[in-house]
Amino acid sequence: MLYNLNYILHDIETCINNKKPFSISRLGDGDLKLLTVASNGHFNRWKFNQQGIPVSEHEFVCKLYKESCNNANYVSSFDMYFDGTIWRRPLSRGMRKKIQFWKRLYRKVGIKNENYCSPEIGFLFFLNEPRNLFSILANKRICLITCFPRVEGKINGLGYNCTTFLIPGRNEHHYKVYYTNIEKLSKIATSFDAFLVGAGTLGRGYSNCIKANGGVAIDIGQVFDSWADFGLPKRLKRFLIRTPNLTFRLQDNAKQFRKFF
C-alpha cells in the first residue's frame, strides 16, 4: 500500500510522542544501481567506492538493504515515476529499466515490505507548508547523522535543538567505522527524540539499528546536501526551490502533484 505524506508525518509524530520505535528506508535511483550491481555479484569499484564500502562486500550490501527495508515502517516505491502522481524526470535507457523493474529487484534480494512511500519523501517532509517535519520536531532533541557539520548551526539557528553524529563523506572509508558507529548508536538510540539520517548506503544500517534499539530514525538523504549549500539534485531543480528557512517550495509546474503526496 502507498502511504501519503500527511499519513507518514502523523505516524512519525505519534511514534515520537509515544516513545515508539520508527524507521523509514528511503531508496533512490542510486540505491537501485548499487543494489543491482551487488545482487549480481559484480565488482563495480566506482559505485562501491562512492559509498565508502569495499567492493568485496556485495553480499553485505544486499543483506543491509534487505534487513533495513523489511524492518522499516515504510520503504520506497518507484511506480509514481510512471503513473502521473509525481513529476517525470529524464532517464537513461538503463536507469529507466532499473526503475521499471524495481519490484523484481526487491524480490531478488528479499525485500518484502509493502508499506510504500514516495522515493522523494526526504524532500517532501520539508515542504514549505504549516505542517511538515520541522513543525513536528519543534522542541524535540534531534541528532543529525551527516558528514556536513555546518548544517547543525543552520538548523539550531532556526530555534531547534540539534546535535551532530559526524560520519565520513563520499568516497571516504565509511565502512571502516561502520560497526563502531553501530555500537555507539545502539547506546544512544533513545537519547534523542529523532535522528535525521543522511548517510548513503550505510545509513540504512544506522536507521535499522536506531529502530531496533527503541529510537526514531528518519532517512532524509540528499536534503543534507541542500542544507550544506550544494544545491538541489539535478532531477529536482525544475520542481523545487529551497527557501531561507531550509524548507522546499513547490514550483508552479509541480503544484499539480501536491494532492498525491
Residue pLDDT, tens place only, 99-144: 888 999 999 999 999 999 999 999 999 999 999 999 999 999 999 9
Confidence bin at 43 (pLDDT 50/70/90) = low
Looking at the structure, tell me whether residues 83 and 144 fall in a common domain. no
Q: Choose one of 71, 97, 117: the last residue of a domain.
A: 117
Mean pLDDT confidence for 174-199: 97
CB distance 8 to 74 below 8 Å: yes
- Residue 18 inside a domain? The answer is no
44-61 pLDDT, tens digit per residue, is 677 788 899 998 899 999
- Residue 94 inside a domain? The answer is yes
Residue 214, pLDDT above cutoff 90? yes
Q: Which CATH number characterizes residue 220's domain?
A: 3.40.50
Look at residue 22 in the predicted model and tell me its pLDDT: 98
Angle, CA of 6, 126 and 222, to the nearest 5°: 120
- Residue 62 inside a domain? The answer is yes
Number of domains in the chain: 2
Residue 41, pLDDT above cutoff 80? no
Q: Give the separation between CA 258 and CA 34, rounded to whole angstroms.
A: 30
| 135 SS3 class | helix
20-31 pLDDT, tens digit per residue, is 999 999 998 889
Look at residue 49 in the predicted model and tell me its pLDDT: 86
Looking at the structure, tell me whether residues 126 and 200 fall in a common domain. yes
217-257 pLDDT, tens digit per residue, is 999 999 999 999 999 999 999 999 999 999 999 999 999 99
Looking at the structure, tell me whether residues 101 and 149 fall in a common domain. no
Q: What is the mean pLDDT of the chain?
A: 93
Closest residue by Cα to residue 124 from 134, 113, 137: 134
- Residue 20 inside a domain? The answer is no
Looking at the structure, tell me whether residues 85 and 159 fall in a common domain. no
- Residue 206 inside a domain? The answer is yes
Residue 88's φ and ψ, nearest 5 degrees, are: -75, 160
Residues spanned by the domain of 181: 121-260
Looking at the structure, tell me whether residues 147 and 90 fall in a common domain. no
